[in-house]
Amino acid sequence: MSLIETINLYKTYTVGDVQVHALQGVSINIERGEFVAVMGPSGSGKSTFMNILGCLDKPTQGKYVLDGIDVTATNLSELAGVRNRKIGFVFQGFNLISRTSALENVELPMIYNHTPAHKRREKAMEALKAVGLEARAHHMPNQLSGGQQQRVAIARSLVCDAPIIFADEPTGNLDTKMSIEVMDLFTRLNKDLGKTIILITHEPDIAEYAGRLITFRDGQKVSDEVKK
C-alpha cells in the first residue's frame, strides 16, 4: 500500500459566477521515502493539490487515502491529529509565529499532542540541533535570516516525527546560498531519516535535488518521471 494515493481528484473553486477548475482528475501514488518535486506554470494547481495532500483542504471530487486513512471521508478538524502526527509543513513565507522564540515555535506542534513540557523542550532542542540552529534557540523570528527562519520551520516539521514533509516553494523567498543550505537539509532528511518529501518549486535547479519530478498543467498531471 502506498503512503499517499489519490484517485481522480477534482477541485473546483466558485468565485461569484465563475468556476475555476483548479484540479481536473489527478491520480498519483507516492511511496514511503520518496523525494518528489512538483513543477508547473503558475496557476496550474500545484498548491491546491498539495493543500489537499496536506489535509488542509478537501477535494470537490475524488478519493485520497493517506497511510490507510480515507481523508475524503473525514472532516477537517478531525484531521488535526493526522496533520500533527503524519505531516510537517514548510511554507514559502516560513509561517513562524512572531514574538515567539525559535524554540517555542518548534515546540508548538507538541503542545497539541500534549507532550509534557520538559520533553517538549528536549525534543525541540534536538530538532533545532538537527537543522544547525541550537545557538539561535532563543531568538525571535525577526532576529533570524530568511534561511534560518526556514530551517526553524523545518525543525518544527520534524519535531513530531511525522513521516511526510510538504514544502510549497520553500526556497521562493531565499537567495541561492540559503536555498542550497535548505535543499541540502531536505536531502539529508530524506536520505538519513527516511522522510518522504514533496516539494513544489519553479526552479529546475531545486527540482534537481528530488528523485522524482511531477509536472502539472491546467490542473492536470502532464508528466511523472523517476530519475535513475
Partner 1 sequence: MIDTFLSVFRISVKAIFANKMRAALTSLGIVIGVAAVITMLAVGSGTQKSMEERFSRFGTNILYLRQPWDLDESITSPKDITMDDVRAVRRVRGVTAAAPYISSGFEVKYGITKTTIDVLATDTDIFKAYDWQLASGRQFTEQEISSYAQVAILGDSIAKTIFNDVDAVGKTVIFDEVPFTVIGVMKKNGQGGFGFDMDEGTLIPYTTGKIKMNTGWGNSDPRSLDQVIIRVGDFNKIDEIKVAITNSVRNTHKIHPLGKDDFQLDDFASFVEEAKAASKTMSILLGVIGAVSLLVGGIGVMNIMLVSVTERTREIGIRMAIGATSADIRLQFLVEAMTLSCIGGIIGIILGVGVTMIVAANSTSIPAQMSLSSIIISFAFSAATGIFFGYYPAHKASKLTPIDALRYE
Ligand X SMILES: Nc1ncnc2c1ncn2[C@@H]1O[C@H](COP(=O)(O)OP(=O)(O)OP(=O)(O)O)[C@@H](O)[C@H]1O
> 136 phi and psi, to 5 degrees?
-105, 15
Distance (Å, whole) CA 94 – CA 2: 29
When binding is defined by CB under 8 A, the residue of 77, 135, 177, 228 that contacts partner 1 is 77
The footprint of ligand X (CB under 6 A) covers 13, 15, 20, 22, 40, 42-48
Residue with cell 503512503: 3
β-pair type (220-226, 212-217): antiparallel
C-alpha cell at 102: 525559535
Contact code string over 6-45 relative to Mg ion, x by CB under 5 A: ----------------------------------------
User: Judged by CB under 8 A, does residue 57 bind partner 1?
Assistant: yes
Residue 103 or 213: the one with the smaller Cβ distance to partner 1 is 103
User: Judged by CB under 8 A, does residue 195 bind partner 1?
Assistant: no
Give the binding-site size for partner 1 (rule: CB under 8 A): 31
Phi/psi zone of residue 35: left (φ > 0), alpha (ψ -120 to 50 degrees), beta?
A: beta
User: Judged by CB under 8 A, does residue 7 bind partner 1?
Assistant: no
The closest residue (CB) to Mg ion is 47
Exposure class string for 61-97: b at 16+ Cβ within 10 A, else e: ebebbbbeeebbeeeeeebeebbeebbbbbbbebebe
User: Judged by CB under 8 A, does residue 99 bind partner 1?
Assistant: yes
Binding footprint of partner 1 on the chain (CB under 8 A): 51, 54, 56-57, 76-77, 80-81, 83-85, 89, 91, 95-97, 99-100, 107-109, 111-117, 120, 156, 160
